Amino acid sequence: MLVEQIWTANAYRNFNYLIACPETGEALAIDPLDHRQCLATAKRNGWQITQILNTHEHGDHTGGNRAMVAQTGAKLLAHKNAKDKIRGLDQGLGAGDVVKVGKTVELEVLDTPGHTLSHVCLFAHTDLPALFCGDTLFNAGAGNCYHGGDPIALYHTFIQQLTKLPDTTRIYPGHEYIINNLRFTLDREPDNAQAIALLSKVKLQDPNQAFVSTLALEKEINTFFRLDSPTLIRKLREAFPDLPKDLDPQKVFLKLRELRNKW
């Protein structure tokens, strides 16, 4: 499996992706908002884009569909419940479906509601597994739930699906928000040594060669995985003095999401 992470350098800080089969050169474009960069990258690598996948229906992920289809004839895939939200959908996807690219690439579809209720992630069961996670999971953060989402659904996606993936899973998010997300981590958990060290490192990074996290690292630096951190819970009680004595993980997650919305 060949992966190109494409930095759009736009105001939304989007990443687009191409996943290609090394044998056939067939490629899948994920959320190709910047269709020109995606097409140029495919041409440079000698790849043919035959499929497009939208992780969800928001315009900063679907905005390149029409131009991409017009220039490649690629088939458009997305969550099966997004058929009325994404024009020209050729194939609706559900949990457990497999997206095949060429002869060698197979990507499992995960139904991951939260950011929206019709959101999918793609998981690659390779030697170094990979998760193409759209706006469900960011480096050191989680998707918001402003536009058609549900924070309780997002919590269940994290706990029931994401935490159970292999720790070696590489994380490929839909946006580059790592610096601000790490600052939120340290606002909530000032003694998080991993987050302190990583923030110093990524401040110097070029988004064209972005840092690629792993699930193991996310569990160390991402507040939305660290729901039992004593420091985090103590700071949460300072922000919300009326929290019950017995604080369950879902409540911690929801209060973190509430704080991040305003942070």
Sheet containing 105-111: which strands, arranged edge to edge? 98-101, 105-111, 120-124, 130-134, 170-173, 213-214
Say how many Å lie between the first and final Cα of the chain, rounded: 38
147 annotated among ligand-binding-site residues: no
61 is catalytic: yes
Using a 10 angstrom Cβ sphere, with 0-12 exposed, 13-18 middle and 19 or more buried, the burial of residue 124 is buried
35 is catalytic: no
135 annotated among ligand-binding-site residues: yes
Q: What is the reported pLDDT for 239?
A: 95
Tens-place pLDDT, residues 197-225: 999 999 888 888 899 999 999 999 999 99
**Which among 35, 61, 79, 119 is annotated as catalytic?**
61
Domain containing 46: what range?
2-262
CB 28 within 8 A of CB 19: yes
Angstrom distance (rounded) from CA 130 to CA 128: 7
119 annotated among ligand-binding-site residues: no
119 is catalytic: no
Q: What is the reported pLDDT for 205?
A: 83
Angstrom distance (rounded) from CA 236 to CA 183: 16
228 annotated among ligand-binding-site residues: no
Q: What is the reported pLDDT for 234?
A: 96
Q: What is the reported pLDDT for 162?
A: 98
Residue 177 sits in a domain whose CATH number is 3.60.15.10
Q: What is the reported pLDDT for 209?
A: 87
The total number of structural domains in the chain stands at 1
79 is catalytic: no
Q: What is the reported pLDDT for 222?
A: 98
Q: What is the reported pLDDT for 97?
A: 98
Half-sphere exposure of 52 (CA within 13 A, CB side): 32
90 is catalytic: no
**Which among 35, 58, 79, 119 is annotated as catalytic?**
58
* Encoded amino acid at 255, one letter: K
187 is catalytic: no
35 annotated among ligand-binding-site residues: no
Average pLDDT, consecutive stretches of 10 residues, N- to C-terminus, the chain (263 residues): 97 97 98 98 98 98 98 98 97 98 98 98 96 98 96 98 98 97 98 97 88 97 98 96 94 98 91
* Encoded amino acid at 85, one letter: K
Report pTM.
0.97
Q: What is the reported pLDDT for 204?
A: 83
Q: What is the reported pLDDT for 93?
A: 98
34 annotated among ligand-binding-site residues: no
58 is catalytic: yes
Q: What is the reported pLDDT for 207?
A: 85
CB 126 within 8 A of CB 85: no
Closest CA to 48 of 111, 96, 2: 2
